[in-house]
Amino acid sequence: RREVLEKFKVKDAKLVVIAVADKSAANQTALAIRQRYPEIPMLVRAMDDEHQDYLTESVGVTAVLPRLPADSILLSLPFGGAVLRRLGFAESEIDGLLEEERRKIYDQVRGPKGLLDAFKMLDDDGDGTLSAPELRRGLSNVGRTMTDEEFARLYEAADINEDGLIDYEEFARLMVK
C-alpha cells in the first residue's frame, strides 16, 4: 500500500531488503516498490529457482536463493553478506563480520550432535564423506568465498588421511580451527 511505503520512507532507502517466507507477499511487495520507486535497488530472498528467475527477470530485482534448509541459522549469513555488499561495505569488512558470526554459530553447535548435523547437511550423497564439490558448496552456502587455490589448500589440509575425501573426524577438526 502506498501509505505504508511513504510511512517507512522507502523513497529514501539506499537498498530495500525483502526477506519473507511467503512467496506471494515477497512478489507483491517487490512489485509495489518497483512500480512506485523504480530506481531503488532491491534484494529479495527467493524461495526456489523458479522464484529467483521470476524476481530477476520479471520484477528486475536482485534475488538471493538460500541453499540451506530454512531452519538453519547459517542461512542468514550469505543473505546478510549480499546486503552489506549492496550497501557498499568493503569485502574485507564483510568477510570479517561473516567469519565472526560463523564462529559464534559454530561455538553454539560444536557439540557432537550439532557438528554431526552440519556434516550430514553437507553430505549430499549420504556416503559419510565430503567430496571437494560438497564442501565447496557448503562453504559457499554459508557465505565463505575463496579462490580455487585457497580452497585447494584448505581441502588438502583438512584431508588428514589423504584419501581425497573429508570424513566426519576431519570435518570436526576443520570446524574447530
Q: Label residues 63-88 b or e (16+ Cβ within 10 Å = b).
A: bbbbebeeebebbbbbbbbbbbebee
Distance CA 116, CA 147 (A): 27
**Given the DSSP bridges, would you call strands 129-130 and 166-167 parallel, antiparallel or unpaired?**
antiparallel
Q: Which of 64, 82, 114 is the last residue of a domain?
A: 64
123 falls in which pLDDT band (50, 70, 90)? confident
Question: Which pLDDT value is given to residue 99?
Answer: 80
DSSP 66-113: --S-TT-GGGHHHHHHHHHHHTT--HHHHHHHHHHHHHHHHHHH-SHH
Contacts 24+ apart (CB under 8 A), 50-53: 51/23, 51/26
The gap between the terminal CA atoms of the chain, to the nearest Å, is 49
- Do 98 and 40 fall within a single domain? no
More confident residue, 171 or 69: 171
Q: Which of 34, 64, 94 is the last residue of a domain?
A: 64
Write the CATH number for 147. 1.10.238.10
State the virtual CA torsion across 69, 94, 34, 30 in degrees, nearest 10. 20
Q: Is the pLDDT of residue 70 over 50?
A: no
- Do 80 and 140 fall within a single domain? yes
Question: Which pLDDT value is given to residue 117?
Answer: 76
Question: Which pLDDT value is given to residue 108?
Answer: 61
**Among 33-42, 139-148, 152-161, whose mean pLDDT is lowest?**
139-148
More confident residue, 31 or 76: 31
Over its C-alpha atoms, the chain yields an Rg (Å, rounded) of 19
Domain that includes residue 153, residue range: 73-176
Question: Which pLDDT value is given to residue 96?
Answer: 87
- Do 101 and 166 fall within a single domain? yes
Residues of the chain above pLDDT 70, percent:
85
Here the cell at position 32 is: 509495489
Per DSSP, the three-state class of 126 is: coil
Question: Which pLDDT value is given to residue 32?
Answer: 92
Question: Which pLDDT value is given to residue 163?
Answer: 94
Q: Which of 45, 64, 83 is the last residue of a domain?
A: 64
Q: Label residues 130-165 b or e (16+ Cβ within 10 Å = b).
A: bbbebbbebbebbbbeeeeeebeebbeebbeeeeeb
Half-sphere CA count of 154, side-chain side, radius 13 A:
18
Question: Which pLDDT value is given to residue 30?
Answer: 94
Mean of pLDDT values over 95-100:
84
Question: Which pLDDT value is given to residue 67?
Answer: 57
- Do 90 and 167 fall within a single domain? yes
**Among 5-19, 34-48, 55-69, whose mean pLDDT is lowest?**
55-69
Mean of pLDDT values over 57-75:
68
Report the predicted TM-score, pTM, of the whole model to 2 decimal places.
0.45
Tens digit of each residue's pLDDT (9 = 90 or more) over 103-112: 776 666 555 5
- Do 101 and 49 fall within a single domain? no
